[in-house]
Amino acid sequence: MTNFFKKLGLKKEKLIPQELGDYLFSLAFNWALRDGNNKEFLKLVLAENIDESYLIRELIVLNMYAIISVCDALLKNEEFKDSVLNSMHEAYYIFLGKHLGLEEKGIENERLFLNFRYNEYGDSRKEKRGPNELWPLSHHILKNLHRKEKIEEEPLDAVTMTNVMKYYASLVDLIHKVLSNNNLLK
């Protein structure tokens, strides 16, 4: 475990919420870059022709949503969890300001956008359709990746929907493993 903390540039074996939040944002960001530039992944979700900056943004949001889902399941201390997630989002807003030049109004708009997406994804988890609870979520993810206001029930083939379900499930599993296997939550 010590090597893991060295890779993060940390000297101690217990993270404070801000460090964990910053780390989680770096995961969300780096995974979005990785997947947004992976031709095989893009083909699997029919996203080869989507604007790269738009795609990366949607993947960052999706990754942060998955992180929130895992933190909701793993972190029992509400105060600690809220602090971690607030720090993750603050790292995102700092990134937007420093690297994309967003000013206060743009960052406020992004906060509203995140709340909208998170609510949409959360609400989709309550929908009762498809083979499992991830089917509606996958549908909303694809709708957002393809910049559609509304997608009919099955606009994309079942293989694409299944690919998105598998992607999200593997993302959640990976986040869970990263957090629990490295004792980051003790």
pLDDT in tens for each of the 186 residues of the chain? 344 445 555 445 566 889 889 999 999 999 999 999 999 988 888 888 888 889 999 999 999 999 999 999 888 889 999 999 999 999 999 999 888 888 999 999 999 999 999 999 999 888 888 788 888 888 888 888 877 655 554 456 677 878 888 888 888 888 888 777 655 555
Q: Which domain holds residue 106?
A: 13-181
Other beta carbons within 10 Å of 174 = 14
Note whether residue 82 is domain-resident.
Answer: yes
Note whether residue 186 is domain-resident.
Answer: no
Note whether residue 152 is domain-resident.
Answer: yes
DSSP string, 5-37: HHHTT-SSSS--HHHHHHHHHHHHHHHHHHHHT
Please give the Cα distance from 101 to 94 (Å, whole number): 10
Number of domains in the chain: 1
Note whether residue 5 is domain-resident.
Answer: no
Note whether residue 8 is domain-resident.
Answer: no
